[in-house]
Amino acid sequence: MQAENQIIVPLDVPTIEAAIALVERLPQVTFWKVGLELFTSTGSVILRELKSRQKRIFLDLKFHDIPNTVAGACRAAASLGVDLLTIHASNGRTCLELATTAIQEGAASTGVQPPKLIAITLLTSISPRQLAFDLKIPLELPEYALEMALMAKESGLNGAVCSPQEAAQLRETCGNDFLLVCPGVRPTWADKGDQQRTFTPSQAIQAGANYLVIGRPITAAADPELAWSKICAEIQNLEL
């Protein structure tokens, strides 16, 4: 896979105007992430705008609710023709299994390809201490992420979102056909922000990540085009 196709850039902006301006500022970006803020603001309008520009879409809404509600949301989202869709693995096995069926139904209803359904193992903003003391989960963080990913795979999901620090273990255990999407990726020259568990782009790819979600190091850079090019070059050098 070419480096530019492995980087997903988040459209973490509040309006359709700001989103389109960012897409036009970075025409070389082929894969964009639409999250809660922008989708709540614009609905499917932003998805249509991206598709009209032949962009791939990661719809990152992290569905988390009772099984029937999550299945209904997945069915509706799949009909929109997005490429990746996220739900929390902590919804449980029944919910995950219903969701895998629902995306097939939703995509078939509009004649589009079903999205790859990706499980959230654990938000990368959560530290081991928070997992233990705030969430009261007795497992070590890597073990918890692995258990969530395995349940997702057994339930028919296509992959998982995980910290790059867990990617190597998940790749070894879940196999090469299981997609790993890694946020929390920060070049050495970028600020970590609110991410607690980070790797550089090259470290994340070497650990087994298929896709890297990289936002502020690109979108908040003084020169976003230069930042994009530097990250692509770092990844490309691994393949030479």
As a whole number of angstroms, the distance between CA 142 and CA 46 comes to 35
Q: Give residue for tokens 């007795």.
A: 138
CA 216 to CA 192: how far, in whole Å?
Answer: 9
What is the reported pLDDT for 239?
Answer: 57
Q: What is the pLDDT at residue 47? A: 98
Q: What is the pLDDT of residue 79?
A: 97
pLDDT of residue 240: 45
**Residues in contact with 81: Cβ distance below 8 Å, sequence separation at least 6, in sequence order:** 47, 51, 57, 107, 110, 112, 113
Let me know: does 141 contact 128? Beta carbons within 8 Å: yes
Active site residues: 62
- Nearest CA to 41 out of 62, 10, 12 is that of 12
Q: Given this model, what pLDDT does residue 125 score? A: 85
Written as one letter, the residue type at 123 is: L
List per-block mean pLDDT (blocks of 10 residues) for the chain, which spans 240 residues.
Answer: 89 96 96 98 97 98 98 98 98 98 98 98 91 96 96 98 92 97 85 64 94 94 93 78
Question: pLDDT value at position 193?
Answer: 60
CATH of the domain at 109: 3.20.20.70
What one-letter code names the amino acid at 28? Q
Rounded distance, CA 81 to CA 170, Å? Answer: 28
For the entire predicted model, the pTM comes to 0.93
Domain enclosing residue 191, as ranges: 3-239
> How many structural domains does the chain have?
1
